[in-house]
Structure 1
C-alpha cells in the first residue's frame, strides 16, 4: 500500500493522508476518484487499465505500478495490483546489492570510464531509475540492474518494459543476478554469477559470470558438421552459428561493455529468440551470416591473450547439484579468454606524419603539438581535463535541476574529447580504444 497516488488522467498526485488529497482547489476530489474507481471495478475493468498508479517509490524508480482504492476501518487505502510493486516499498537494498554497485563503479573507473549509482532519467512526465549507469566510449551508456535473491522469481515482472524504456532512451540494459531462474528468462539480457556474500563481491578478486555470455561457433552444414542442422533437415548445405556458453570475469564484462567490445545480440535458435552477450567480432560475423547464409562469414583477426589473471578468485566452485540448463563453466580453460580481451591488430604508425586516405574530406586532423611527458597531443590532454573537471562539478551538486544542466555540459565535453581522440587515432593509425584508455589514465593519474 502507498499513501501517494498518481492520477494519469488528471496528471496530479493524490496524498491520501490529507482530507483534500492536497488539492483544496478541487472540492470532493476523494469522492469523485473513489467512486470512479469502484465503478470501474464493478464493470470488470482491469486495474492496469484504470487511471491510478503508485506515486511514491515506484514512480520515483520509473515503474508504472497500477493501484486501486479501498476503505478499511474508515481509512483510505491505495493497494498495488502486483506483489512485486508492494515489496518495492518494504524490501531494503541488501549488502550484496550495494557491493555489486560499488564493484561496477570501481571496475568502470579502472577502465577509464565514468559512472554513478541510482541515476534517474526523465522520460516525458515520468522517470526511469538505473541501479548503476556507466558512461562508456562514443557516448555509450550501460545501465546495470542488479536483481538478487530477495523475492520469489514469480514476483519479478515488468523487466521487459523497464529494459525497453531504457533502450529507447539510449541506455543499453544489462541485468545481473545470482538466481538461475532469473538467468533463464528471456525478457532482457541477463548475466549470472554464483551466490556470494557481500564481502566476497566487494573485494578485488576475480568474480566470474557463469551465464549470459556466449561464443559463437560458425560452421557449414555438410556431412562433416558436428552439430545437427537447426532447420531439422539432415544436411541443408548452408552456414549456421551455434552459441556456446563461456564464462567471463565480471570486471571485464563491465569494462568491455562500456568500450563496445562486448555487445548484446538477439540470437535465433529454431523458433526461439535468445538474448546473449557476445564479442563485437562475433556480432559482426553473425550479421554477415544473416545477410548471406550460404557461405561462412570471414574470420575476424584476434590477438591471443597472454598470461593469467593476477587476482585471487572470489567465485565458489560449482557443485554437481547446482547444474542448470545454462551450465556454469567455471572450469573452462583461460584459453577461452581471447574472445574477451581481443582487439584487432593495428599496423604500426608511419614514421613520417601522414593523413590517412580514409579521412573524410574537410575533416581537420588533430593538432600535432605534443606533450613531452605523456607523448600525447596537448589538445587531447586539455580536452580530457575539461571533461573530467565537468564530471567532478557534477558530483559536487545536490540540486536535481543543477545536476541535469551540469550533466549536459559534461556530456558535451565528453563528446568533444571523444571526437578528438577518434581523429588522432585515425591520423596515427592507432587503436582508438587504447588511445582513449591511455589518455584517461594519464590525465587522471596526474590529477590524483
Structure 2
C-alpha cells in the first residue's frame, strides 16, 4: 500500500493522508476518483488499464506500478496490483546503499559543504526524491543517486526523466553504481566503483571511481597525430579532443563536484553523445575548441583533479572489469598521471557561438550587428577592407582574452570575442554569397592575411 498515488489522466499526485488529497481547488475529488475506480472494478477493467499508479517509491525509481483504491475501517487505501511492487516499499535499504550515503555526507562535510540524505524537494505538484543532496559552493546543488544491485536492470526506468527534472530545478544529477551494465547507459552522468561490501565502502580508505571521469586530450589532426580523424578522413588538419578514461577518488569527486572544479559535460564522439565528468579547465578548453575547430585552445594551468592521499586504498576483492571505451586503466592515482597532454600554446581563432547579453563588453565598432556591405578592397588580396577590419577586431578581442586571469573578466571578454567572431562570420558569408565564392576559402584567405601581417 502507498499514501501517494499518481493519476495518469489528470497528471497529478494524490496524497491519501489529506482530506482534500492535497488539491483544495478540486472539491469532491476523492469521491469522483474513488467512484470511477469502483466502476472500473465492477466492469472488470484490469488494474493496469486504469488511471492510478504508485506515486511514491515506485515512481521515484522509474517503475510504473498500477494501483486500485479501497476503504478499510473508514480509512483510504491504495493497493498495488503486483506483489513485487508492494515489496519494494517494505524492502529495507541495503547496507551498501547506506554506506555510500554516509560516505558522501562525510566527504562533503570534510570539504566544508553541507548535505542530507533522502531529501524530498517539492516541485509544483510533484516531488524530487534525492538519495543524498550536497549543498555546494555558489548555490550549487549535487544530487547523488546511488543505484546498486538491488533490483533487476529491466526495472531501472525513467532515469533520464528523473535526471532532467532534477537539472531543470537546479540540482546537478550524479548517479553512482557498482554495476557495469548501469555505467554503460547514456541516460545521465554515471560513475562506477568496484562492487564492495558495506564495511569497505564505509571506511576511510581511498575508494576509487573507475568509470565516468575523463581527461580530455587535445591534438592536431596531422600526420604526427596518435588518433584517427573522428571525421573519417585521412587527415583534416583541424584540432580535436579525445576523452581518455581516468580514475579519481570517490571522496574527491564528491568534494570537487560541490566546489565546481569537476563538472558534467556532453561529449560528441562521431554520432554518439556521451555524458562524462571532467575538470572545469577541460570543459573550458572544450568550449573554446568548439567555438573554433581550426586551432587548439591554449592550455590552462590547472590543479590535478585529486591530490595525494595518505589513506590506505580500499580493498578490491575482485578484478574490476575494464572501463568502457578503452583498455583497463592501471591502478595508479590520478596525480601520478597528467590530466592533459602537454600542448604548445597557440592562439585560438574565433568563431560564431552565442550573442552576449552584456552589451558593455562589446567593442563600439561592433554595436551595429547588421552585415556590412563591402565597398573598398585590399589591393594585394582583393578582399574587402571591411572584412579585414572585422577580423582584426576579433583577433584583438581573443588576444585580450588570453591575457586575463580573473574568471569573471574572462567570461565577459569571451562574450565580446564571440560577438566579434559572429560579425566576421556574417560578413564572410555575405561576401562569399554575393561573389559566388567558396566560403571556406574566403575565410582561410582572410585569416592568413590578417594573422600573417600581424606577425
TM range (shorter): 0.5 to 0.7
1:76-124 C-alpha deviation (Å, 9 max, x unpaired): 97446997x6563243211111110010011011111111111110010
In structure 2, the partner of 1:352 is: none
What are the equivalent positions in structure 2 for 1:121-160 lying under 5 Å apart? Answer: 121-160=121-160
Matched, 1:111 2:115: no
Q: State how far apart, in whole Å, the 2-side matches of 1:33 and 1:222 are.
A: 68
Note if contact 1:175-1:189 (Cα within 8 Å) is conserved in structure 2: yes
Distance 1:24 1:303, change over 3 A: closer
Matched, 1:120 2:124: no
Q: State how far apart, in whole Å, the 1-side matches of 2:90 and 2:126 are.
A: 22
1:389-445 C-alpha deviation (Å, 9 max, x unpaired): xxxxxxxxxxxxxxxxxxxxxxxxxxxxxxxxxxxxxxxx9999xxxxxxxxxxxxx
Shift of 1:28: 7.7
In structure 2, the partner of 1:205 is: 205
Matched, 1:301 2:305: no
Note if contact 2:189-2:264 (Cα within 8 Å) is conserved in structure 1: yes
Shift of 1:260: 0.3
Distance 1:204 1:234, change over 3 A: same
In structure 1, the partner of 2:437 is: none
Matched, 1:312 2:316: no
Distance 1:224 1:109, change over 3 A: same
Q: State how far apart, in whole Å, the 2-side matches of 1:54 and 1:187 are.
A: 23
- Which ranges in structure 1 are unaligned for 5 or more consecutive residues? 17-22, 341-359, 361-428, 433-448
In structure 2, the partner of 1:67 is: 66
Distance 1:166 1:305, change over 3 A: closer
Q: State how far apart, in whole Å, the 2-side matches of 1:316 and 1:178 are.
A: 12
Distance 1:165 1:193, change over 3 A: same
In structure 2, the partner of 1:255 is: 255
Distance 1:163 1:88, change over 3 A: farther
Distance 1:26 1:261, change over 3 A: closer
In structure 1, the partner of 2:245 is: 245
In structure 2, the partner of 1:323 is: 322
In structure 2, the partner of 1:281 is: 281
Please report the TM-score for the alignment, with normalisation by the length of structure 2: 0.63
Shift of 1:175: 0.4
Note if contact 1:186-1:274 (Cα within 8 Å) is conserved in structure 2: yes
**Secondary structure in 2 matching 1:174:** strand
Q: How big is the alpha-carbon RMSD for the aligned residues of Structure 1 and Structure 2? A: 3.8
**Secondary structure in 2 matching 1:108:** helix
Shift of 1:285: 0.5
Distance 1:29 1:224, change over 3 A: closer
Note if contact 1:132-1:143 (Cα within 8 Å) is conserved in structure 2: yes
Structure whose CA Rg is larger? 2
Match of 2:39 among 35, 38, 63: 35
Shift of 1:237: 1.1
Distance 1:125 1:64, change over 3 A: farther
Please report the TM-score for the alignment, with normalisation by the length of structure 1: 0.64
